[in-house]
Amino acid sequence: MLSRETLDLILTFRSHRFRPIAGADGVDDEHERTRRGLRAFATFGIAKTWVGPSRGAVCDVCGRKIAVDMIEYELVAVNGNEIRLDGDCYTLLVKELVTPPRGRAAAS
């Protein structure tokens, strides 16, 4: 949602009106960025999961290569979105599904 709003803003004002924003989150924030991506995918509802040996794919969340013959997880959401995960990101997804986000517990 935020990335779509940012793109709309950039297309509306173009570079002649403001300087483009460039850069990345800090290394310390990489783990939280992965969690946010997994939480966002989980909101679609997971319909099917396939598990099998990798053919050398890349994890869609962390960007690391999944070595050939290592286990990879392909998840398909109810709306048809797909994501491929390595073992570490899949384990993190499972933890995220059973643990409510920090802000939600305080709001209840």
Residues 89-103: tens digit of each pLDDT? 999 888 888 776 565
Residue 62 placed within a domain? yes
Residue 89 placed within a domain? yes
- Burial of 86: CB neighbours in 10 Å, binned 0-12, 13-18, 19+: buried
Residue 95 placed within a domain? yes
Is 0.75 topped by the overall pTM? no
Structure tokens at 24: 């990345």
Domain range enclosing 67: 45-99
Evaluate whether 34 touches 89 at the Cβ level (below 8 Å): yes
Structure confidence at residue 20 (pLDDT): 54
Measure the CA–CA gap between 22 and 20, rounded to whole angstroms: 6
How many structural domains is the chain composed of? 1
Strands laid side by side in the 82-85 sheet: 46-53, 71-77, 82-85
